[in-house]
A and B are shown apart, each in its own frame.
Chain A
Amino acid sequence: METLERLIEEHPFCHGMEKGYLELLVGCASNARFDAGQYVFRQGEEANHFYLVRHGKVAIEIHAQERGAIILQTVGEGDVIGWSWLVPPHRWMFDARAVEQTRAIALDGECLRRKCEEDHNLGYELLKRFAYLMAKRMEAARLQLINIHGPLD
């Protein structure tokens, strides 16, 4: 348990988090490992976890019938995968596939939702951190969308 707590504390997502909250997170956490090519989750599945990535690389992708899988974004060390656990209907919107061997801490979304309902301060703390992440992702996605490198031929 102690090492899991240390790993969570060291992850950038949790920097500066109060000890009490870290302990609550540890209660919902487990280690996870994905081999290259393995799916962390697939679109449409129930979103029961989110992941603090420790090493490796995961591609967030969307599958288009005509074009195969299109990678929207890759995430790696220090990043977080997934907020669908937080937002109803709690289903994954995209596929997540390990591009290389990846180690992460999996946090059980159901367990966390319950704790957040019991302790709204924890809920607010987590929401603040996820809101920041979402804003960053949206900014990056918008830059991707405007195609700053000019129009395709």
Chain B
Amino acid sequence: MALSTDSAMTSPVANPMIPVPWRVQKARRETRDTFTLTLRPANGEPLPAFAPGQFNMLYLFGVGEVAISISGDPADQENLVHTIRAVGTVTRPMQRLKRGAVLGVRGPFGSPWPVEEAEGNDVVIVAGGLGLAPLRPALYRLLAHRQQYGRIVLLYGARTPRDLLYQRSLDQWQTRSGIEVAYTVDAAAEDWRGNVGVVTTLISKARFDPVHTTAMICGPEVMMRYVIMELEKLGVTDENIFISMERNMKCAIGFCGHCQFGPTFVCKDGPVFRYDRIEPFFKLRGV
């Protein structure tokens, strides 16, 4: 069963098990627990091409390796960008890296968002929390080829105003790029002038043609479930809904079985899945 979205796969570096050294060019704090690392090859190697939605394995020498989506512009030939939330053993010390530090990188791995297949359609992107990071390369791609799409809608939800990622970009996209942007937070104090409420409440207000829409969703699984229900209610079909899944990873090339999800491996068949192809497992508990 071929579960990956099939176009635009890029081939990983020569030996996918050996990390290549990359240097931190810039480390930027995004929110209280999230940061963005801009990396450049430490030994001058060319940047491997990646497709929006793919991820790398980042190796913090002597500590461990983690799967992190690429969050930068696929057209950028110089920089590899990752946005990371500091949650544990590897990502917490990673947060302390400064310009000049060296990381090991393996990748890119995994299936991409269907940005080419979506041409001619309206595109609805729904992100929750850090889920905006893997979707940002898709947005860059859509904006670079703006005329090839119908309406483009970005709906984004975060916990509080302080947890909104890329806030400056959000405001720029909202005002100047021909896409409809709406974002909301789950809780806010009195001085907040934006929306409050879960991201699902934005869906019925967005303008798009459900019959000719490709939806791309990334966020906590509960959120994705309710977003899918809302989209289905409006008439978006499961073949046009794509979600990105997260499972613990080790090898990232389909060997170890760590990332198994139903009969699939998230590392090689995903992380981006067409919803109708994984729906039965997505609805099961504890898969």
Contact = CB atoms under 8 A, between A and B. Distances in A.
Interface string B30-42: 0011000000000
A19 B14 CA distance: 70
Contacts of B226: 139, 143
B115 interface: no
Contact of B196 (A59, A67, A100, A153): A59
Contacts of A78: 205
A74 B187 contact: no
A74 B77 CA distance: 42
Interface in A42-80: 57, 59, 61, 67-74, 76-78
Given A146-B222, A148-B220, A148-B223, A140 B197 contact: yes
Interface size class of B (residues with CB under 8 A): 20 to 34
A146 to B, nearest CB: 7
Interface size class of A (residues with CB under 8 A): 20 to 34
A140 B200 contact: yes
B195 interface: yes
Contact of A149 (B32, B163, B193, B201): B163
Interface in A138-153: 139-140, 143-144, 146-150, 152-153
B63 interface: no
A35 to B, nearest CB: 14
A152 B198 CA distance: 17
Interface of B: 32-33, 128-129, 158-159, 163, 184, 186-190, 192-198, 200-201, 205, 219-220, 222-223, 226
Interface of A: 57, 59, 61, 67-74, 76-78, 99-100, 139-140, 143-144, 146-150, 152-153
